[in-house]
A and B are shown apart, each in its own frame.
Chain A
Amino acid sequence: MKNKQYSLKILETSIVNEEKFIAFFDANYMLFKDHLISIKGDLSDNVKKYLLDKKLIYVNNMTLPQGRSRKALEEEIHIHKTPCESEEYKKLEAQLAEERKDNAVNQQIAKSEIAQLHRKLAHNFTVIDSIIRSGREVNIDGDLLLLNRVNSGATINTTGNLIITKVVEGAVRCNGNFMMITVSPKANIIFNGVEVDNELLTDKLNRIELKNREIFITPVLKKEITWVQ
C-alpha cells in the first residue's frame, strides 16, 4: 500500500452572475490556478467549458472536510496522546502489529508526524530584529515577530502569524490566523493565498485577520500619537 498525504487550497464559491464569475477567474487566475474550486449550486455548460478550458479542477456540490484551527489541533493531539500511554492501547497496538505489519508501520508514521507537529506547535515563535536586506529569504515555520525593515527584493514566508513593526518594501507571505503590518505602499502582501491591497493599510499598525474565510483589516495603532505634555 502506498500512501501520500498533502494539503491543498480550496476556493469555495457559488455562482450568482456567470459573467462576474468568469471575470473574477480571469483576473485572479494566477492566484487560484492551483486551488481546488468547490462550487455550490448548479453549473451551466458555459461555466463547465470555461473551467475545462482554463484547466481549473473543480467539484460541484460536494461537502468537503473543513480545516481546523490551531487550538482544535492541539486539543486533538492531547486526546491522541493520553490513550497512547494507557495499557489498553499498548495491548491493542501490539495485537494490531502482529496481525498486520503494514498497518503498524503506518501508525508509527502517523504517531511521529503528530509528535513532530506537537514540537512545532510548542516551539514556534521566532523574533528577528535585524534588517532584512534585498535578496534574503526568511522562511519561518511558525510565528514571527520582526522588529526591523523588510527591504525591496527580500521575501518573508511564515506558516504562522506575523507581526512586522517597520516598513515593508519586499514580499510577505503569511499563512497564519493574523498578521500586523504598518503602512507599506511598496509591499507585496499575500495573506493565506490572497493578495492584500496596500491602500487598505492606512494606520501605524494594521491587523489583518481571517474570520469565517473572509479577510478583515482593522487599525490597531493610529498614525498620530499625541502625548500628554
Chain B
Amino acid sequence: MGTVIAVISGKGGVGKTTATANIGVGIAMNDKKCVVVDFDIGQRNLDMILGLENRVVYDIVQVMDKEASVKQAVIKSKINKNLHFLAASQTKDKSILSSEKVKSLIDELRLNYDYVILDSPAGIESGFEHTIEYADKAIVVVNPEVSSIRDADRAIGILDAKSQKVKDGDDVSKYLIINRIVADMVQSGEMLRSEDILDILNIPLLGKVPEDRGVIDASNQGKPVISNKKSIAGQAYERISKRICGKDIDIRDVESESAGMFKKIAGIFK
C-alpha cells in the first residue's frame, strides 16, 4: 500500500506546484514508483512544469467519471520511468469533485504506487478539502513571510478538522518546506527566520529551499530543477526527496551558507 501525500500551502504562488513536481521526480530517482496528481481542477499547470503539456489525453475528472481507466489516463514522465502523472481537468471546475469519487480514485492509486503526491489548489475551499480528505501525510509549503505563514496555519487547522484520518481518530503527519529563502535577507532580519516559522506552525521541518533563479527557467522549460545538479534549489529538493523515502539526511542551514561563502571571499581581500 502506497503513501498518499498532499502538498498544501493555503496561500497561492509560494511554489506548491514546483515543489510537487520536484518531489515527484526526486522520489522516482530514489527507485520508488510515484504518481503526481494535479488536484487544481480548472487551473492545471503541473503538466507544464513536468514538460508533459501536449501529452495529456484523459484527465482526473474523466477517470473519476469512469470515462477512462487510471492506466489509460496516467502519463509516463520522460525524465524518469518511475514517475507517472495524472492531469487535472482544464475545462471543468472544482464543484465536479465529490468525496466518494475522490476516495475511489485515491484507493486505486494507492494500490499501484509507492507514493501518491497530490498537488492541492491554493485557498481553503472545496478543492483543497477534497485533496486533504484522504491523505496520509501533508507537506506544507511556505515562504518566509507573514501572510504565507498565516495562510498555511489556517490550512493546517482545516486539515486537522476535515481529514478522514483525523475523523477516524488517527493523526495526519505534517511536514514543512520553507521555500525561496534568501540568506542575506534572513540575516538582515528582512525575512523570517526558520526557527520563528517552526515556532508558529509547530510541525516538523522537511527541508529548506533557497531562492534560485534557475527555478523559473526550469519551469518554463518543463524540466524540474531537481534534474540540474548544479542548482542549489535542485539540491535542496534532492535532499527533501531522500528524506521522504526514509533516508536520514541532515538539514542544511541554507540561511548562513551563501553568506558564509561571501565572508570567506571577503576574508581573502583583508
- Using a CB–CB cutoff of 8 Å, the interface residues on chain A facing chain B are 131, 133-136, 148-149, 151-153, 167, 169
Complex Cα spacing A131 to B160, Å: 11
Complex Cα spacing A169 to B158, Å: 19
Does B101 interact with chain A (Cβ within 8 Å)? no
Contact A153 B154 (CB under 8 A): yes
Contact B150 A152 (CB under 8 A): yes
Does B200 interact with chain A (Cβ within 8 Å)? yes
Does B169 interact with chain A (Cβ within 8 Å)? no
Does B156 interact with chain A (Cβ within 8 Å)? yes
Smallest beta-carbon distance A76→chain B, Å: 41
Complex Cα spacing A148 to B199, Å: 11
Smallest beta-carbon distance A151→chain B, Å: 5
Q: How does the 8 Å CB contact mask read for B202-234 relative to A, with 1 for contact and 0 for none?
A: 100000000000000000000000000000000
Contact B157 A136 (CB under 8 A): yes
Does B153 interact with chain A (Cβ within 8 Å)? yes
The residue that A152 contacts in the complex, of B146, B158, B160, B202, with Cβ under 8 A, is: B146
- Which B residues from 143 to 201 make CB contacts under 8 A with A? 146, 150-151, 153-154, 156-158, 160, 199-200
By a CB distance below 8 angstroms, the chain A residues around B151 are 134
Contact B150 A149 (CB under 8 A): no
Q: Which residue of B lies closest to A130 (CB)?
A: B160
Complex Cα spacing A111 to B151, Å: 47
Main secondary structure of the interface of B (DSSP, over half): helix
Known A-B contacts A149-B200, A149-B202; the reply to A134 vs B157 at CB < 8 A is yes
By a CB distance below 8 angstroms, the chain A residues around B202 are 131, 148-149
Which of A134, A136, A149, A169 has the most CB atoms of chain B within a 10 A radius of its CB? A134
By a CB distance below 8 angstroms, the chain B residues around A152 are 146, 150, 153, 200
Smallest beta-carbon distance B97→chain A, Å: 22
By a CB distance below 8 angstroms, the chain A residues around B150 are 134, 151-153
By a CB distance below 8 angstroms, the chain A residues around B199 are 149, 167
Q: Which residue of A lies closest to B152 (CB)?
A: A134
Complex Cα spacing A135 to B153, Å: 8
Q: How does the 8 Å CB contact mask read for B110-134 relative to A, with 1 for contact and 0 for none?
A: 0000000000000000000000000
Complex Cα spacing A64 to B267, Å: 76
Which of B153, B160, B199 has the most CB atoms of chain A within a 10 A radius of its CB? B153
Interface CB pairs A-B, < 8 A, 8: A133-B153, A133-B154, A133-B156, A134-B150, A149-B199, A149-B200, A167-B199, A169-B200
The residue that B157 contacts in the complex, of A135, A149, A169, with Cβ under 8 A, is: A135
Q: How does the 8 Å CB contact mask read for B64-98 relative to A, with 1 for contact and 0 for none?
A: 00000000000000000000000000000000000
Complex Cα spacing A148 to B153, Å: 14
Complex Cα spacing A203 to B160, Å: 33
Which of B156, B157, B199 has the most CB atoms of chain A within a 10 A radius of its CB? B157
Kindly list the 3 A-B residue pairs having the minimum CB-CB distance in the complex, ordered from nearest.
A133-B157, A134-B153, A134-B154
